[in-house]
């Protein structure tokens, strides 16, 4: 039975019933001794004795966003009385404005951080336990709290096998009655922030069993918000994939608070569907999509998602809102292409991600000779549709209209290159050379051939001393045809930096390239790599992030960001970025290699070995992967297998071997041997060696060794920069 008004609990006088729950009832009361209004929670039978020790410790917490615990009785808690509303309730359902959600989330993260530092887990973080007042948010009700030693790895065992908390906000491990640490509170916190931003619970169901099943197995529907990546990481099913501390969560939230919102209109162009059963025509529908992306990218003030990220959804049944949320855009263009003989039909629709409304829809049925005019019309129509709502200027006029056969050869080259196999890349080279032969004044094939030669050098398909001069000649030819191509200028800057080690000339060329109003994320990322090597790491990170905002699912751009973060001494953040790559593509071999090096840095040798095994399985031709695995095998005691892998390295061409042998030497601590291989790599002008030696964690010991001044001088860099 609820207590009557006027009932006395010691010197506390009951004034009103505020609410009731599984643990007991909460009353508004007067503290006659201190002459103040308080909240009194009467615990049901069986709860008081078990929790008394924990709540006495919690009473020592003193934080502006934690409800103060004043006193503990034999079966009741006395808390600060707060006039406020829950963060989300029936009276004030979400979604809340971003600014409000961010403020509340940051304050509660700060509160939980303070509790965790005192070794206290909350275990019942939910909207009802967060009251919003004019002075800020308050975290309430530590009735289920548990004391630990205050470290993420020190899990409480007292609730093993016991289900405590509120189902929709439990972590998977809490729902299974397993031991908990502060990462469980991080998951529950993510559920709350998700609900504030999306207006719905992350995990629902018609019964507790259904809700708990969703918590353990389902991913919540995506939503569009700058906070979405933070929430997603909080809600990772495996504790090891979440933020590891509330400090990390708070820092991530504060970084978003400090970043000005991107108010630009934005669009992602999804791959146009090929409406013919003939897969041979796939190159044409893909190529037409990419051309429209390139045209839109020249519109001032419009954020356009690059090809790599837009094409990540090709062939997948994904809701438009989910795609928009993943890519951070407000509109999505989708369409279809049907080519029959000399005629082509294109249907294009521009869709608002917010409400699914069609902002633009049109069908084009023309001769193939009109394909360029159709592309221009589609870009202009999109610009017009967005201009009505978002004030965007019209697109620039096309710089050059190539002959149709050369254009088709370029589209076939791009399609082949996107398959990313040695055979397909070789085929792409043939198509680009055909396009150049058909139309020598067409600048794009020259520029893209220059980039392709650089890929040959990086992958070890061709020695850099052969590939880079060919790539440079192609880039220069592109500039002769069209002096305004920033891609060609960027490539020449890259060659000056990472092949010639001419940092002054690289600066000049990159400055020219970046002066253009429209530059691709890939070119921007090249520039960021240059900035990091010459010691301008904070600028490099900013350029990397801008590039990723326009191509967020491009794994190679994120690899470059990982290297930049390592150079900035932010190793833990770099691991987060590696996991982001693997979340989208678990078969991206370079990410496993980066993860292996990170785990090695943190002393987790067995886990590093497992990651390196995965990397080599995905890229069996990759010499650095072999060297890394051999080094980790030797480090963990398997000398015989390490020796066999090193023998297989000897089967490769000499110019590809050095990277593998260098990594092996670094991992096993043979610095002089590693320096010899590094010197060989520098002499061979392998384009990746400069970044690795100057920035990567794996080369840190080498940079501190007596051999470093010699290596730095070979790259024309100051040894102590």
Helix axes 555-567 and 537-550, enclosed angle (nearest 10): 160
DSSP 544-559: HHHHHHHSTT-HHHHH
From 124, 141, 181, 657, the catalytic residue: 124
Distance of CA 500 to CAs 504, 682, 691, Å? 11, 10, 14
Separation between Cα atoms, residue 627 and residue 616, nearest integer Å: 10
Q: What is the dihedral of CA 472, 476, 477, 478, to 10 degrees?
A: 100
Q: How many Cα atoms within 13 Å fall on the side-chain side of residue 410? A: 25
Please state, in angstroms and rounded to a whole number, the distance separating the CA atoms of residues 401 and 396. 14
CB 360 within 8 A of CB 369: no
Rounded Cα gap, residues 687 and 467, in angstroms = 11
Q: Angle between the 654-667 and 639-649 helix axes, to the nearest 10 degrees?
A: 160
Query: How long a stretch of residues is the chain?
Result: 721
With b for 16 or more beta-carbon neighbours within 10 A and e for fewer, the 19-42 pattern comes to: eeeebbbbbebbbeeeeeebbbbb
Helix (H) / strand (E) containing 273: strand 273-274
The continuous run of DSSP H or E covering 460 comes out as none
224: region left, alpha or beta (phi > 0 left; psi from -120 to 50 alpha) = beta
What is the rounded CA–CA span in Å between residue 43 and residue 144? 11
Partners of 343 in the β-ladder: 340, 367
Determine whether 718 is exposed, middle or buried from the number of CB atoms within 10 Å of its CB (0-12, 13-18, 19+).
exposed
Q: Is 203 helix (H, G, I), strand (E, B) or coil?
A: coil
User: From residue 28, how far is each of 115, 174, 594, 622 by CA, in Å?
Assistant: 25, 31, 56, 68
**Contacting residues for 480 by C-beta, under 8 A, at least 6 apart:** none
Q: What is the DSSP letter of 96?
A: P
Our answer to whether residue 124 is catalytic in this structure is: yes
Q: Give CA torsion, residues 286, 288, 292, 297, to 10 deg.
A: 60
- With 0-12 CB in 10 A as exposed, 13-18 as middle and 19+ as buried, what is 681? buried
Q: For residue 347, what are the β-bridge partners?
A: 336, 363
Beta bridge partners of 352: 331
Residue with tokens 């076939």: 412
Active site residues: 124
């Amino acid at each position: 039975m609820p207590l009557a008004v006027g009932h006395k609990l010691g010197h506390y006088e009951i004034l009103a019933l505020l609410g009731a729950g599984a643990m007991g009832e909460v009353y508004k009361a007067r503290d006659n001794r201190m002459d103040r209004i308080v909240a009194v929670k009467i615990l049901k039978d069986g709860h008081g004795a078990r929790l008394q020790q924990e709540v006495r410790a919690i009473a020592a917490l003193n934080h502006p966003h934690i409800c103060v615990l004043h006193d503990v009785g034999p079966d009741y808690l006395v808390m600060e009385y707060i006039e406020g509303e829950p963060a989300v309730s029936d009276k004030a359902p979400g979604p809340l404005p971003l600014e409000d959600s961010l403020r509340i989330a940051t304050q509660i993260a700060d509160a939980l951080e303070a509790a965790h530092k005192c070794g206290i887990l909350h275990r019942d973080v939910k909207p009802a336990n967060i009251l919003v007042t004019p002075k800020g948010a308050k975290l309430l009700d530590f009735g289920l709290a548990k004391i630990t030693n205050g470290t993420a790895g020190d899990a409480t065992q007292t609730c093993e096998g016991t289900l405590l908390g509120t189902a929709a906000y439990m972590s998977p491990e809490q729902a299974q009655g397993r031991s908990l640490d502060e990462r469980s509170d991080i998951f529950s916190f993510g559920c709350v922030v998700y609900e504030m931003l999306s207006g719905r619970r992350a995990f629902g169901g018609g019964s507790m069993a259904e809700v708990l099943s969703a918590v353990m197995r389902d991913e919540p529907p995506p939503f569009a918000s700058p906070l979405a990546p933070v929430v997603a990481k909080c809600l990772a099913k495996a504790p090891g994939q979440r933020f590891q501390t509330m400090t990390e969560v708070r820092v991530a939230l504060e970084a978003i608070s400090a970043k000005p919102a991107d108010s630009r209109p934005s669009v992602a162009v999804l791959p146009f569907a090929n409406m013919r059963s003939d897969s041979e025509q796939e190159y044409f529908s893909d190529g037409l999509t990419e051309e429209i992306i390139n045209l839109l990218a020249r519109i001032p003030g419009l954020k356009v998602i690059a090809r790599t990220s837009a094409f990540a959804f090709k062939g997948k049944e994904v809701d438009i809102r989910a795609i928009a949320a993943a890519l951070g855009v407000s509109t999505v263009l989708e369409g279809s292409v049907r080519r029959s003989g000399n005629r082509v039909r294109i249907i294009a629709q521009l869709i608002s991600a917010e409400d699914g409304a069609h902002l633009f829809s049109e069908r084009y049925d023309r001769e193939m000779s009109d394909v360029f005019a159709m592309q221009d019309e589609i870009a202009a129509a999109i610009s017009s549709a967005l201009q009505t709502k978002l004030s965007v200027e019209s697109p620039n006029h096309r710089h050059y209209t190539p002959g149709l056969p050369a254009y088709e050869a370029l589209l076939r080259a791009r399609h082949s290159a996107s398959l990313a196999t040695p055979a397909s890349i070789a085929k792409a080279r043939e198509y680009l050379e055909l396009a150049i032969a058909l139309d020598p004044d067409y600048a794009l094939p020259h520029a893209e051939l220059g980039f392709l030669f650089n890929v040959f050098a990086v992958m070890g398909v061709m020695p850099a001393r052969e590939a880079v001069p060919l790539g440079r000649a192609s880039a220069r030819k592109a500039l002769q045809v069209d002096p305004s191509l920033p891609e060609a200028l960027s490539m020449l800057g890259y060659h000056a930096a990472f092949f010639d080690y001419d940092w002054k000339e690289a600066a000049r060329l990159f400055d020219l390239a970046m002066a253009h109003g429209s530059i691709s994320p890939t070119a921007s990322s090249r520039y960021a790599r240059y900035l990091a090597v010459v010691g301008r790491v904070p600028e490099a990170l900013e350029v990397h992030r801008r590039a990723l905002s326009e191509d967020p699912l491009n794994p190679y751009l994120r690899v470059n960001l990982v290297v930049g973060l390592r150079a900035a001494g932010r190793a833990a953040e770099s691991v987060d970025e590696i996991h982001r790559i693997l979340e989208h593509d678990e078969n991206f071999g370079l990410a496993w290699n980066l993860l292996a090096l990170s785990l090695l840095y943190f002393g987790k040798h067995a886990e590093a070995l497992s990651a390196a095994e995965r990397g080599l399985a995905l890229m069996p031709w990759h010499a650095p992967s072999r060297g890394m695995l051999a080094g980790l095998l030797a480090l963990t005691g398997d000398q015989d297998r390490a020796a066999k892998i090193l023998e297989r390295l000897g089967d490769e061409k000499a110019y590809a071997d050095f990277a593998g042998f260098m990594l092996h030497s670094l991992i096993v601590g043979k610095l002089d041997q590693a320096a010899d291989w590094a010197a060989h790599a520098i002499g061979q002008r392998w384009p990746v060696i400069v970044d690795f030696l100057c920035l990567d964690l794996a080369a840190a010991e080498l940079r501190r060794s007596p051999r470093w001044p010699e290596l730095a001088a070979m790259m024309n860099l100051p040894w102590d920069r």
